[in-house]
Structure 1
Amino acid sequence: MEIENDDGVTHRFRIVGYDEIFGRKDYISIDSPMARALLKKEVGDLAVVNTPAGEASWYVNAIEYVKP
């Protein structure tokens, strides 16, 4: 998945189960606030994530499945 904020900052990552994350910077847990906000989103959708610093908005640029 690739997401982008209003400042043009992009992130690419894979949403996985908590037991698959170890040692991978590009994986996020399905239980994380970011993953929960992105569930059922489609390309072009806006996801609002609640963070300790307040709400963060991210646009979905791409969704793909790449076999590990």
Structure 2
Amino acid sequence: MSDLIQTAFRKSSHSEGGNGCVEVCAAGSQHFVRDSKDPHDGALVLDGAAWGALVGRIKHGALDL
């Protein structure tokens, strides 16, 4: 995870001004999601298929976000 700290995470545009702040980055075939308020506490690691499924569910309103 220490290498990811130097990777270019980007903050969700939907996180501005709220408490639900997340950052994401892609490195090779892996996608990483972390809490922007505590970036040194680890990240959720997803492969391409899992990332696509998560984004699809978010876009279709299947999650209570």
RCO greater where, 1 or 2, for CA within 8 Å and sep 6 or more? 1
- Normalised by the length of structure 2, the TM-score is 0.30
* Structure 1 or 2: more strand by fraction: 1
- Normalised by the length of structure 1, the TM-score is 0.30
* Structure 1 or 2: more helix by fraction: 2
